[in-house]
A = this chain, B = another copy of it.
Amino acid sequence: MEDVARAVGVSHQTVSRVLRGHPNVRDSTRAEVLQAIKDLGYRRNSSARALATSRTHTLGVVAVNTALFGPASTLAGIEEAARTEGFLTSTVNLRRLSRESLTQALEHLGEWGVEGAVVITPQRQAVVALSTMQRPFPIVTVEGGHDLDIPGVSVNQHLGARLITEHLLAAGHRTVWHVAGPQDWIEAESRTAGWRAALEDAGAEPPPPLLGDWSPLSGYRAGQQLAGEVVGAAGRAAALTAVFVANDQMALGVLRAFREAGVRVPDDVAVAGFDDIPEAEYFAPPLTTVRQDFETVGKASIRLLLDRIEGNSPGERHLVIDPHLIVRSSTATPRS
């Protein structure tokens, strides 16, 4: 910076002012400085800047299962939003979301002086841990529900499940079975609750939900059990005609189990998933599901976080994004 100043014949402070966009610099001076910066290939040193201003312009992100479609998309949304706001993001990928690993991750980020962090906390225990934890900088959760005092953004899973269930009921199904996700996941719990609420509102009896762990394998196992419930004997109403599976991966497993058991989809049983992974459209048959807009989630979380860091407006504490239904042929056949 000194070099630039010398080249133009001004003080380093004037150069600094140009860099910071300070108004009180004569246009001609500004132009000269800019030119010199370009000629000398000067780049200002972010560490020195951070040291002097005590602002690092860095945000942290903590996530698990980043190889999955949902988290990965959210991550991308977060990063892009932060970048356009002039922040650097740094992501920590955790294998498990334990209290200990969470603490470590936040510590790691703290070492580098992040000004705040977005934590993707799909499991209840993680939000709980977070809410009882010493938080060295502002933190915003994603998919952490909204019943705790820690601010966050989430997708309205309850609504998504309700949309699916009502779609199936509207197609004439008496009731809808459910393959649930692990109930310590907030999303799984909300989907189950939404499904149950929709059935109860319609006066339908909720069958006992089966539990899965999000994996295709667990869906496959559940599908094998469900296949046993399908009584397709001519003339007698089948006990099971529609299934809402809590995510697309498990739905894939269910479809496979049904196929092996000779249960036809959607002729014998309608199947719906959740997430709309890119492959869902190419399942056999193409899967009815619910799409969440992860990019919006990312943007919203950054907005919430920056509100808190900049502290100008208290802002909302919780943002909820509505998902929407994608109907495909796995639920295509209407029933009487």
Interface residues in chain A, defined as those with a beta carbon under 8 Å from any beta carbon in chain B? 43-48, 50-51, 56, 58, 66-69, 72-73, 75-76, 79-80, 83, 88-93, 108, 110-113, 136, 215-217, 219-220, 249, 252-253, 255-256, 259, 278-279, 281-284
Contacts and interface: CB of A to CB of B under 8 A. Distances in A.
A285 to B, nearest CB: 9
B67 A220 contact: no
Contacts of A67: 69, 72-73, 76, 278
Nearest to A134: B41
14 contacts: A43-B110, A43-B136, A45-B113, A46-B111, A47-B56, A51-B51, A66-B75, A67-B73, A83-B92, A88-B112, A91-B91, A215-B278, A217-B281, A252-B279
Given A45-B113, A58-B90, 20 more contacts: A43-B136, A45-B51, A46-B113, A47-B47, A47-B50, A47-B51, A68-B72, A79-B93, A80-B93, A83-B92, A83-B108, A88-B90, A88-B112, A89-B90, A91-B91, A216-B278, A216-B281, A216-B282, A249-B279, A256-B283
Contact of A282 (B89, B136, B252): B252
Given A278-B249, A284-B259, A92 B79 contact: yes
* A interface SS class: helix
B279 A256 contact: no
Contacts of A215: 278
B83 A72 contact: no
